[in-house]
Amino acid sequence: RSGSDDRTFIAIKPDGVQRGLMGEILKRFEQKGFRLVALKFLQASEDLLKQHYIDLKDRPFYPGLVKYMSSGPVAAMVWEGLNVVKTGRVMLGETNPADSKPGTIRGDFCIEVGRNIIHGSDSVDSANKEISLWFKPEELVSYKSCAQDWIYE
């Protein structure tokens, strides 16, 4: 894979799903020019979520985070494109919506950090870990978008 094939893991959390924001979030990533490689709509198990948030297990908010993330369905996705991890984080906005600029997903749709509607990988390493945790290799679709030559030089 070339540099334009970087991948990130994005998950729309239960509050984003319940508020009907899945289409808007997908639209923003599509309009940016990123390629959707995998999409799964599921009720995540506590085991999966505990593994996903393993780095936060010693934090006081960890049990509440796992409970909240398992309270409803999530949309788990893999997006591909040049610098998609870094750019995806910029598109999401800050973890605390109060610090997020208008125009970002959290800046436009969130108020409190405990209901920040979306997760995005914070590094290439964590993206690879998260993708392999949520998806089997055969669930990732590889294709060239017909718009690719209009997005990349």
User: What span, in angstroms and rounded, lies between the C-alpha atoms of 145 and 103?
Assistant: 26
Residue 111 lies in a domain: yes
Residue 21 lies in a domain: yes
Q: What is the pLDDT of residue 1?
A: 43
Q: Residue 104: helix, strand or coil by DSSP?
A: strand
Residue 116 lies in a domain: yes
Q: What is the pLDDT of residue 5?
A: 78
What is the residue range of 88's domain?
7-136
Taking every pair of C-alpha atoms in the chain, what is the biggest distance, in angstroms? 47
Let me know if 52 is a catalytic residue.
Answer: no
Residue 48 lies in a domain: yes
Asked whether residue 116 is marked as a ligand-binding residue, the answer is yes
Residue 143 lies in a domain: no
Q: CATH code at 18?
A: 3.30.70.141
Q: Which of 7, 35, 52, 119 is catalytic?
A: 119
Asked whether residue 59 is marked as a ligand-binding residue, the answer is no
Asked whether residue 106 is marked as a ligand-binding residue, the answer is yes
What element of type H or E holds 118?
A: strand 118-120
Residue 119 lies in a domain: yes
Q: Residue 38: helix, strand or coil by DSSP?
A: strand
Asked whether residue 13 is marked as a ligand-binding residue, the answer is yes
Domain count, the chain: 1
pTM: 0.94
Residues near 153 by beta carbon (within 8 Å), at least 6 away in sequence:
none
- Per-residue pLDDT for the chain (153 aa), expressed as one digit of tens each? 445 679 999 999 999 999 999 999 999 999 999 999 999 999 999 999 999 999 999 999 999 999 999 999 999 999 999 999 999 999 999 999 999 999 999 999 999 999 999 999 999 999 999 999 999 999 999 998 899 999 999
